[in-house]
């Protein structure tokens, strides 16, 4: 049974609502900064050293779990125990001394694209050429394309243009194939060149990439057939090959959607805003959910401030009353934020218990709209509460809270599993059938999208990669 105080829902004033929504969207670290700012600017607020549980108000001797609120009344219940967890440090060191955990368990280092490519090609380059390659790779955009011209590189580095072109070509032949190209067309042509070494490429494919991409993008197959003097069927075959096997944005094959230009890099979470653990380290027991409250004490309105107002002269009273009203509003909005987060996480963690305990394959399809109806709040409230928040799962992995709503996550997990065990590279059509056998009905285009998000190359390029090894 959930041991939290249920507040009576009252209509909120505009100011109350606006500030609550603002606080709701903040991460634990941002909330700490906001509290520090309010404390510095408002004498009516104070933080007392004693640390009390925000839920049951008992004095806490140590940061983290409340010894009362963290123990459920029913140990067999699947309903999580959710409460606020005041912490000076987000993650006290004493909680994490497991020798089996990596040195950086919370933010595993991921290799960026330039480093990934340079590591592949370094053995084939001289020391000077490695420096030139590193320079070129630092001028890639999110899509893996060069943001400068080869002539400008030659002028800046004082290398002959022929050397710059040579090193660029070596980069282009690395995985992901086509990386370091000046244009999407160049990237596609390099991929065609590589594919010819391992299999058949429709004879029209290269011509379409060189001269007909714009017309092809509008599906004007009849016009292209007339232009090249071939049957429409040939154009369609070549177009399908290009769509299924070529990637105009090679950087996205590892770091995003291969079919769309890159935007922002995915956020890396180093500190969790929410900690989920097993009660007594037992997966069969209720989950314990701690909402990090980044305070070293208890925030409150200074009880002596009202007395100071009574003793002040009339001119000072106006300003002091304004400070008191602002302080009271801030504390109320903070309490409302906590209440909303508690209600949200109680329901969400209950729905996604299998995902939390057993992994991505067991994620249930839950939407923000559905949850907002259940909790009787606006969908934007759910979105604000979820945005930019990170959750530490019982296995110590940190994931965005938004992943609890990611309907593709279980499919992508199965997709990775299938491809990791494939005896030979499966085509996207094969993967559609194999996913169907597992109970997932998805289109081929969806498979291609999920594959690219997971950084998995198309079947033809996986063959190239396998041969290279």
Question: Please, are residues 412 and 49 in contact by the beta-carbon 8 Å criterion?
Answer: no
Where exactly are the structural domains of the chain? 14-91+271-405, 113-255, 409-468
Each residue's pLDDT expressed in tens, for the chain with a length of 469 residues: 334 444 444 444 566 777 888 888 888 888 988 999 999 988 889 888 766 676 666 677 666 666 666 666 665 667 888 888 877 655 433 333 333 333 333 333 345 788 888 888 887 788 888 889 888 988 888 888 998 899 988 988 889 999 999 999 999 888 788 899 998 889 888 888 877 766 678 888 888 888 877 777 777 888 888 888 888 888 888 888 887 778 888 887 554 433 333 433 444 555 789 999 988 778 888 898 999 988 777 888 888 888 888 887 777 888 888 888 899 999 999 989 999 999 999 999 999 999 999 888 888 888 888 898 999 888 888 988 998 899 999 988 888 998 898 877 778 888 888 988 888 888 888 898 898 888 778 888 888 878 877 778 788 777 765 655 5
Distance CA 149, CA 136 (A): 10
- The dotted CATH code for 409-468 is 1.10.10.60
β-sheet with 274-278: strand ranges across: 81-86, 287-293, 274-278, 390-392, 398-400
Summarize pLDDT for 433-466 with one digit per residue, the tens. Answer: 898 888 778 888 888 878 877 778 788 777 765 6
Maximum CA extent, the chain? 96
Q: What is the distance in angstroms between the CA of the first residue and the CA of the last residue of the chain?
A: 55
Report the alpha-carbon distance of residue 330 to residue 35 in Å, rounded. 9
Cα separation, 381 vs 428, in Å, equals 38
Cα–Cα distances (Å) from 275 to 187, 297, 339, 354, in that order, read 44, 20, 17, 16
The total of other beta-carbon atoms located within 10 Å of residue 120's CB is: 16
Q: What gap in Å lies between CA 113 and CA 332, rounded to an integer?
A: 46
Angle ∠(418,415,181) on CA atoms, nearest 5: 110
Q: To which residue do tokens 């040939």 refer? A: 234
b/e for 419-434, b at 16 or more Cβ within 10 A? beeeeebbebebbbeb
- Cβ within 8 Å of residue 446, ≥6 positions away: none
Residue 200, SS3?
A: coil
CA–CA separation, 163 and 460 (whole Å): 30
Residue linked to tokens 């606080």: 23
Long-range (24+ apart) CB contacts under 8 A made by 52-57 are: 52/86, 52/298, 53/83, 53/84, 53/86, 54/83, 54/84, 54/86, 54/293, 54/338, 55/3, 55/4, 55/5, 55/83, 55/84, 56/3, 56/5
Taking the model in full, what pTM does it have?
Answer: 0.56
The single residue listed with the structure tokens 């928040």 is 389
Q: How far is CA 38 from CA 34, 330, 332, 433, in A?
A: 6, 8, 13, 57
- Sorted by sequence, the CB contacts under 8 Å of residue 48 that are 6+ apart come out as 297, 298, 300
Which spans in 7-111 are helix H? 14-24, 28-41
Positive or negative torsion for Cα 123, 128, 130, 133: negative
Token reading at 306: 């009202």
Joined together, the tokens standing for residue 130 give 């490695």
The confidence score (pLDDT) of residue 97 equals 35
């Amino acid at each position: 049974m959930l041991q939290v105080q249920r507040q009576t829902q009252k209509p909120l004033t505009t100011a109350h609502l606006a500030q609550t929504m603002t606080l709701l969207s903040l991460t634990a670290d941002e909330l700490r900064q906001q509290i520090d700012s309010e404390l510095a600017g408002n004498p009516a607020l104070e933080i007392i050293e004693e640390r009390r549980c925000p839920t049951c108000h008992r004095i806490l001797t140590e940061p983290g779990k409340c010894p009362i609120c963290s123990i459920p009344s029913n140990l067999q219940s699947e309903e999580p125990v959710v409460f606020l967890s005041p912490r000076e440090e987000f993650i006290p060191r004493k909680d994490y001394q497991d020798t089996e955990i990596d040195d950086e368990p919370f933010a595993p280092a991921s290799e960026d694209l330039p480093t990934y490519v340079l590591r592949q090609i370094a053995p084939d380059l001289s020391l000077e050429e490695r420096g030139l390659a590193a320079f070129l790779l630092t001028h890639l955009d999110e899509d893996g394309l060069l943001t400068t011209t080869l002539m400008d590189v030659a002028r800046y580095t004082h290398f002959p243009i022929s050397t710059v072109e040579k090193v660029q070509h070596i980069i282009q032949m690395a995985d992901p194939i086509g990386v370091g190209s000046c244009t999407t067309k160049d990237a596609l042509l390099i991929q065609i060149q590589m594919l010819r070494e391992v299999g058949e490429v429709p004879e029209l494919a290269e011509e379409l990439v060189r001269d007909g991409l714009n017309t092809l993008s509008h599906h004007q197959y009849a016009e292209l057939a007339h232009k090249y003097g071939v049957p429409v069927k040939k154009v369609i075959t070549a177009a399908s090959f290009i769509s299924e096997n070529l990637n105009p944005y090679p950087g996205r094959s590892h770091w995003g959607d291969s079919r769309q230009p890159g935007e922002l890099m995915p956020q890396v979470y180093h500190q969790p805003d929410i900690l989920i653990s097993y009660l007594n380290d037992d997966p069969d027991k209720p989950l314990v959910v701690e909402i990090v409250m980044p305070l070293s004490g208890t925030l409150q309105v200074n009880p002596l401030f009202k007395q100071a107002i009574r003793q002040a002269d009339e001119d000072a009273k106006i300003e002091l009353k304004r400070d008191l009203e602002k302080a009271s509003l801030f504390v109320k909005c903070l309490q409302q934020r906590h209440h909303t987060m508690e209600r949200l996480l109680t329901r969400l963690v209950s729905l996604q218990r299998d995902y939390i305990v057993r992994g991505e394959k067991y994620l249930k399809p839950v939407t923000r709209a559905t949850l907002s109806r259940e909790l009787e709040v606006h969908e934007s409230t759910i979105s604000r509460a979820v945005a930019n928040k990170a959750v530490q799962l019982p296995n110590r992995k940190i994931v965005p809270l938004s992943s609890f709503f990611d309907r593709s996550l279980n499919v992508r997990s199965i997709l990775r599993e299938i491809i990791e065990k494939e005896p030979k590279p499966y085509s996207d059509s094969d993967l559609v059938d194999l996913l169907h056998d597992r109970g997932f009905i998805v289109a081929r285009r969806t498979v291609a999208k999920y594959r690219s998000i997971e950084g998995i190359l198309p079947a033809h390029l996986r063959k190239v990669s396998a041969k290279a090894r």
